[in-house]
Chains A and B, each alone.
Chain A
Amino acid sequence: MERLHSPAELEAFRKAVLADRAPDQPCITLCAGSACHACGCNDVAEAVRVELAKQGLADRVHLRLTGCHGFCERGPILVIQPESVCYFQLTAADVPEIIEKTVKAGERVERLLYVDPDSGDPLAREDEIPFYKHQQRIVFGSNGSIDPKSIEDYVAIGGYSALAKALSEMTPEQVLDEVKRANLRGRGGGGFPAGIKWEGTRNAPDPVKYVVVNADEGDPGAYMDRSLLEGNPHAVLEGLILGAYAVGAHEGYVYVRQEYPLAVENVTLAIQKAEELGLLGDDILGSGFSFRVKVHRGAGAFVCGESTALMTALEGRVGEPRPKYIRSNVRGLWNRPTVLNNVETWANVPLIIQNGADWFTRIGTETSSGTKIFSIVGKITNTGLVEVPMGMPLRDIVYKIGGGIPGGKRLKAVQTGGPSGGCLPEHMLDLPVGFDELTQAGSMMGSGGMIVMDEDTCMVDVARYFIEFLTDESCGKCVPCREGLRQMLAVLTRICRGEGRDGDLEILEDLSVVAKEAALCGLGKSAPNPFLSTLRYFRDEYEAHIRENRCPALSCKDLIAFHIDPDRCRACGRCRRKCPAEAISGAKNVIHQIDQDLCTKCGTCLEVCPDRFGAVRKISGEPVPPPLPEDQRTVRARG
């Protein structure tokens, strides 16, 4: 690749790339994000290559492997351009038919289309499918259309024009001012305004400054940073270069966890390509501005997402947070002024510079501008990544985009913000999703994890789960976190086992206050949130566990029992045959019974008992009825 020396040369390069591509030429894009990899997109890709060659189309149809499309529930996903026909949950066996019918004849393969759950109609295009229709994908949208390994693809959609604009038309102060006016708030957790953070670094007297991408995503169930870095690494890189220009940094780092090998690979390649083109390195686009980026692979510790711990790890030491009352933007990496922002925050920057702060603030709410990518997982029909304007009610995200709760179950809570966030109950679903709204409700935006829970979820157990996660991930430096979490986990585990005692809630509250007020870093300070938010909205569940030995959600294994209702049992034998513990006795015409001592409470009997009998019951907080005397166990005997 020829090195580009000016914005004009970048434009010429873009025109050459576009001229090389016939807009009407069919292009098959296949999602090759991590989730689709896991469900076999490689086999599909191979089948497409083989089939195109076999049918003599290899020169006329382009196959492009892209980043994550977001609709991970339905992968592998294949989209045929220019008509944008989407096919879901493909196998390699479907490919010949797709090439034959859709690519050659322009027909659709009905059985592979998305079926609208309400009308039953097949929907062919992304913009018709509810999951996509209600989103506003300004940051994440390009993920599904470009090959992350190709800098030409990124340049073709207008990539690096924000950088060219900034370097040729704007001073660093103007770039900073634009980001400040856009009120871009940090997408990684706290929602601190990026522009103000940048300004602190810019104004710091130290001449050596750094910019860092925080790609140490660690929240359970959240993977938007991963998908963005895997699928569109140049967008993140362009944002980082713009940030470096604004604050006067000449060196930057991408701190990415080693568990994200594809993200490491793609961002490393992106840096190399950008250097070859002269978009990184010395004298970028002939502007005189020089900037270099290195990739740092982290060992994947949740605490290393915390800014001071991340910087300590970058310096080559154990990733423990530092007690600091001077902000990292003034004294950060190697005690130099450092701007650390999350992947998604950086990816927003080129859009702001390209389209202006006014465009950006028109999206979202008064205090939360722009969009936010959420990862919706849990008891939801459409698991995946979604990008919506800030301020969209939680209900719309869960029902319109997420497709609601499967299995006819009721929604109980939505956990937002990762382990440090909180659980919002059903009655708060109309809450507009913004930084301040979530914080006021006792949760937070965090990095955008969203775990949907249905009526079968025990909220005490949810708190126990997150506290256990944090106990494993605590660095162990300060006592409120290390010892406090250890004790909180012990008490919550006891409560879930039905061994809760009077005073347990007071102990948990004491430990929560101490962690919030006296822990060293953000992990410890926010660690009690899973407990506090569930206590705030589901106190009755805690009390039922402690006082009545009852788990209202019928979830905690130590507090539930399975029982076969003798009046309903038809002795069909299904539960007995399927019981892995051989805990069920009975025979033809003999009412079945569960031996409570052998039962492992796996729930198989309840699952397999035919609906028309409905004989198996899950119970909690009441004694299991005694077994029937042998002479009353005959089904016929009851008439």
Chain B
Amino acid sequence: MSEVRLQIDGQEVAAPEGATVLEAAQGAGIPIPTLCHHEKLEPFGSCRLCTVEVERGGRKQHVVSCVYPVAEGLTVRTRTPEIERIRRVILELYLAHAPEAPRLKALAEEYGADKDRFDKESSFCIHCGLCVRYCAEVKKKHAVGFINRGTKKEIAFVPDIAARECWKCKECFPLCPTSWLQAAYVLVEGILFPREEQQA
């Protein structure tokens, strides 16, 4: 596979063809924040925190770096004032749901996001989809999925599958940026199936 040369924040970076801008930046040690990216999973592009500015042929555009493929001669800027603004507002939106989640708090600090800008809504899940995708793509169990649409969307365990599979796995737990996943699991567990290891 041939190499592509691009510029990220003024730094010359080489990346394999087909890589994403996020991967290229990570390879060069340039940090881009993200909440929904995981190296074992297909890019999802939902948290939008990794938005960067790319310039190609004189045309500037905001793109999400976890999906955008590298290209020869591409110029990438990861921290313009507009990008800082986008990240700050996105974090403020998230913080309305999970103001005390450590990863959100750390990012809020960095980008000057005000956790109280929007009215609090305690639904905790930020829909990064890490649990859903990890269970589907890596474990191939589909024990947790999204239900509903839009502002009513939430994660939910499928009781039948969860009762069979989850107690011995729980690999999705540490992936969750807000810890809500564990609460959702315990909820389903408490209502729908007995805790297997206690029975044993």
Contacts and interface: CB of A to CB of B under 8 A. Distances in A.
Given A325-B67, A476-B127, A483-B94, A490 B119 contact: yes
Nearest to A524: B48
A251 B176 CA distance: 42
A487 B93 contact: yes
A301 B93 CA distance: 25
A482 B153 contact: yes
B90 A514 contact: yes
Interface string A498-534: 0000000001001101100111100000000000000
A472 B150 contact: yes
A135 B117 CA distance: 51
Given A479-B94, A485-B151, A514-B86, 19 more contacts: A301-B149, A323-B44, A323-B64, A323-B67, A325-B68, A325-B69, A471-B151, A472-B150, A474-B149, A474-B151, A479-B93, A483-B96, A483-B97, A487-B96, A507-B117, A510-B89, A514-B89, A517-B82, A518-B62
A517 B67 contact: no
Interface string B9-53: 000000000000000000000000000000000011111100100
Interface string B149-192: 11111000000000000000000000000000000000000000
Nearest to A483: B93
B97 to A, nearest CB: 8
Contacts of A511: 89
Given A301-B149, A471-B151, A479 B46 contact: yes
A324 interface: yes
A484 interface: yes
12 contacts: A318-B146, A323-B44, A323-B67, A475-B149, A476-B150, A478-B46, A479-B94, A480-B48, A513-B82, A513-B85, A517-B86, A520-B48
Interface string A457-487: 0000000000000011111111110111111
A324 B151 contact: no
B193 interface: no
A404 B126 CA distance: 48
A325 B63 contact: yes
Contacts of A479: 46-48, 90, 93-94, 126-127
Nearest to B35: A479
Interface string B122-155: 0000110000000000000000001011111100
Contacts of B94: 479, 483
| The 7 nearest A-B residue pairs measured at CB | A323-B45, A476-B153, A483-B93, A474-B150, A476-B150, A323-B67, A518-B48
A323 B48 CA distance: 11
B121 to A, nearest CB: 8
Contacts, number: 92
Contacts of A519: 48
Interface of A: 301, 318, 323-326, 471-480, 482-487, 490, 507, 510-511, 513-514, 517-520
A473 B51 CA distance: 24
A266 to B, nearest CB: 29
B62 A517 contact: yes
Contacts of A471: 150-151
Nearest to A470: B150
Q: Determine which residue in A480, A510, A514 has the highest number of CB atoms from chain B within 10 A of its CB, and name it.
A: A514
B153 to A, nearest CB: 4
A520 B68 CA distance: 12
Interface in B51-95: 51, 62-64, 67-69, 82, 85-86, 89-90, 93-94
B48 A475 contact: no
Interface residues of B, number: 34
B65 to A, nearest CB: 11
Nearest to A484: B93
A487 B126 CA distance: 15
Contacts of B126: 479
Contacts of B90: 479-480, 514, 518
A487 B119 CA distance: 9
Contacts of A514: 85-86, 89-90
A513 B46 CA distance: 17
B7 to A, nearest CB: 18
Contact of B127 (A318, A472, A477, A518): A477
A520 B45 contact: yes
Contacts of A513: 82, 85-86, 89
Nearest to B48: A518
A3 to B, nearest CB: 45
A324 B67 contact: yes
A355 to B, nearest CB: 37
A477 B129 CA distance: 9
B43 A323 contact: yes
Nearest to B63: A325
A610 B177 CA distance: 64
Contacts of A323: 43-45, 64, 67
A528 to B, nearest CB: 12
| Most central of A476, A479, A487, A519 by chain B CB within 10 Å | A479
B48 A478 contact: yes
Contacts of A475: 149-150, 153
A476 B153 CA distance: 6
Contacts of B48: 478-480, 518-520
A501 to B, nearest CB: 12
Contacts of B149: 301, 474-476
B98 to A, nearest CB: 12
A509 to B, nearest CB: 10
A510 B44 CA distance: 24
Interface in B103-126: 117-119, 126
A334 to B, nearest CB: 16
Contacts of B150: 471-476, 482
Identify the interface centre among A478, A510, A519, A520: most chain B CB within 10 Å of its CB.
Answer: A478
B137 to A, nearest CB: 14
A250 to B, nearest CB: 29
A471 B149 CA distance: 10
A323 B97 CA distance: 25
B93 to A, nearest CB: 4
A331 to B, nearest CB: 12
A473 B149 CA distance: 8
A486 B120 CA distance: 12
B168 to A, nearest CB: 28
A474 B152 CA distance: 10
A483 B120 CA distance: 12
B18 to A, nearest CB: 12
A490 B51 CA distance: 26
> Which among A484, A487, A519 has the greatest number of chain B C-beta atoms within 10 A?
A487
